[in-house]
Amino acid sequence: MTAKPAAKTKPNVATKVEAKEFTISRIVDAPLDRVWKAWTDANQLKKWWGPKGFEIVSTKVDLRPGGMFHYHLRSPDGQDMWGRFIYREIVPQKRLVFVVSFSDEAGGVSRHPLHQEWPLTILSTVTFAEENRKTTVTVKWIPVDATDAERKTFEEGRDSMKAGWTGTFDRLVDYLANA
């Protein structure tokens, strides 16, 4: 009787989690100049930025590469949270590129207040394109220097990102219609 050779087994290799870019767009019934100002002026951002139901307590904008948009939100149940963008690229009326994160009151990076495995930082690219006095706003997100757990959480969070951005876009549309 001939012995069968032992089956070769592959070494136990950890699979790296790859995050795919999250993209969402909205056509806004307003000219490009108006939409751009809504995205770049602190007083206007204070009137619409953030998820539906949240109060925008304060906003500060330093619109330049390396500058920061720092904002303070209050949830419907009274929880305070802060966020920030650090601008990397600003192409007027075409594109904003920034790193977005939750922050503390002083503007330092902090973890998501409700989900510790959410990516600490996300690269955000927002593009603007006008056609027939309507503006298409497209947001793209991808985690920056994320751990496998953070990338996995990002991938699993697509429905909540879509819901959050849909509510934020709804607020922008309402603001532009009523401003």
Choose between 14 and 140: higher pLDDT.
Answer: 140
| pLDDT higher than 70, residue 5 | no
What distance separates the 2 farthest-apart alpha carbons in the chain?
A: 88
117: which residues sit within 8 A by CB, 6+ positions away?
A: 149, 150, 152, 153
Cβ of 103: how many Cβ atoms within 10 Å? 20
Residue 29 has pLDDT above 70, yes or no: yes
How much is the average pLDDT of 8-16?
A: 50
Confidence of residue 16 (pLDDT cuts 50, 70, 90): low
For residues 52 and 75, give the distance between their C-alpha atoms in angstroms, rounded to a whole number. 9
Tell me what pLDDT residue 15 has.
56
- When pLDDT is averaged across residues 4-33 and rounded to a whole number, the result is 74
pLDDT tens per residue, range 114-148: 888 999 999 999 999 999 999 999 999 999 999 99
Average pLDDT, the chain: 91
For residue 1, pLDDT over 70 is answered with no
Taking a C-beta distance cutoff of 8 angstroms, is the pair 33, 93 a contact? yes
Question: Could you report the per-residue pLDDT of 36-57, keeping only the tens digit for each?
Answer: 999 999 999 999 999 888 999 9
pLDDT, residue 100, reads 97
- This prediction's pTM: 0.88
Tokens, residue 88: 């990397």
pLDDT at 130: 97
User: Comparing C-alpha atoms, which of 134, 22, 177, 32 is closest to residue 91?
Assistant: 32
- Structural domains for the chain: 22-178 (3.30.530.20)
Query: What is the model's pLDDT at position 115?
Result: 85
Calpha distance 4→88 (Å, rounded): 61
Could you tell me if 139 and 106 are in contact, meaning their C-beta atoms sit under 8 angstroms apart? no
Between 8 and 175, where is the model more confident?
175
For 50-84, the pLDDT digits (tens) are 988 899 999 999 999 999 999 999 999 999 999 99
**Cα–Cα distance between 49 and 126 in angstroms, integer?**
14
